[in-house]
Amino acid sequence: MSAPLRLGLAGLGTVGIGVVRIVQAQADLIATRSGRPVTITAVSARDRTKNRDADLSAYTWETDPVALATREDIDVFIEVMGGHDGPARHATEVAIASGKHVVTANKALLAHHGQVLAEAAERQGVALRFEAAVAGGIPVIKALTEGLAANRIKRVMGVMNGTCNYILTRMQSAGLPYETVFEEARQLGYLEADPNLDVGGIDAGHKLSILAAIAFGTRVSFDAVELEGIGNVSVDDIRLAEDMGYRIKLLGVAQMTGRGLEQRMTPCLVPADSPLGQLQGGTNMVVLEGDSVGQIVLRGPGAGMGPTASAVMADVIDIARGIRVPTFGIPASDLAQPKAATSATPAPYYLRMTLLDKPGALAKIATSLGDAGISIDQMRQLHRPGDRAEDAVVLIVTHKAAPADITHATASFATTGVLVGKPVAIRIEEV
């Protein structure tokens, strides 16, 4: 058997300790499957005195992750600290410059600096792997770079943030308002220190931009992702969608069009009986559509100690086996600079608004839609307990319409004199 593959582990939080446990518990299995032992040489974290419920006594301790990255007795630098700048970025850059392979779970780092890091790794002849950065335990990176390598990818779609999916499914099943479930998720520890990373769609947008780069052979372009979080989704919207046979999900969609690369991470209605509609709790799902294979659905835990550490170790084992794949599936120098395209693909839309309950109010709204070239598929007026007698809640489902036309129509509602508050417009994605 070959010489051991020696790991330096930067970050001893949930994922880092998960890696330690797998290396310790599965040493024989990993060695058999890799063709060589895999061992941890040294670790790094800020607080050495913290109780981490793991035996770290056999490992050398480095307080500075940059010092860890330059050690001569490690072959692979594992970065599970997080953050797209600061120590994580610096240590990763130093590791690559020092000729170390890098495995990271850091989607923000890749979304912001993936191109530069990939070019550096390929110049140095080392691997930069990141299966754990997208969708936790789901092997979606490997599926795109290896399993579907002979396919021209037509569309990437999915639910990529378990916290948002938990909040939306909890609102649906318990009939609770967003604010209540948000606080529940916070107390359960599901939210990032900055909750907007989750509920604002930023975390999921990072992941979508990485998948789009691999799928379409482009440089990562997170700044071009259309982002809308779930903060404006009400329990009323969830109930009304359910009545029509839909569920609301924070859905990422990326596709290459004649105008350029569309990337959006926004709330959408999906059919309740579809795989995405059936997705519950903190589970993730990614749907890949290739020209030869058709549609592939990957479902599994999107976060957590075991699943994420499992993905980290899958990359480590590939490195131990000598498998080398370009960071984003093709050489970084060949990745195209994408032309960003705002979403223009027509789709039906769900519209909810409150109108003054007076003659001609609905007609004015219908006229605004007609002037924008939008036809109505369904329309209903709702009467709910607690609504003011002088107001009427109206629900409209349109036929397929371009997003720009929907934006124009909803903006024109304000000029009708019958609108109370702001309208809600949610895309209906047929999946």
Domains of the chain by residue range = 5-133, 141-303, 349-428
Residue 363, pLDDT above cutoff 70: yes
* 5-133 is a CATH 3.40.50.720 domain: yes
141-303 is classed CATH 3.30.360.10: yes
377 closest CA partner among 234, 244, 242: 244
Q: Do 319 and 76 form a contact (C-beta atoms < 8 A)? A: yes
- 406 pLDDT band, cuts 50/70/90, is very high
* 383: pLDDT strictly greater than 70: no
- ∠ Cα 90 96 99 (to 5°): 140
Residue numbers annotated as active site: 207
- Residue from 142, 134, 92 nearest 117 by CA: 92
Write the class of the CATH domain 349-428: alpha beta
Contact of 354 with 420, CB cutoff 8 Å: yes
At residue 85, the pLDDT reads 86
The pLDDT of residue 342: 86
Cβ atoms 218, 336 nearer than 8 A? yes
- pTM, entire model: 0.93
Residue 402 has pLDDT above 70, yes or no: yes
Distance CA 254, CA 183 (A): 31
Task: Write out pLDDT tens, residues 219-264.
Answer: 999 999 999 999 999 999 999 999 989 999 999 999 999 999 999 9
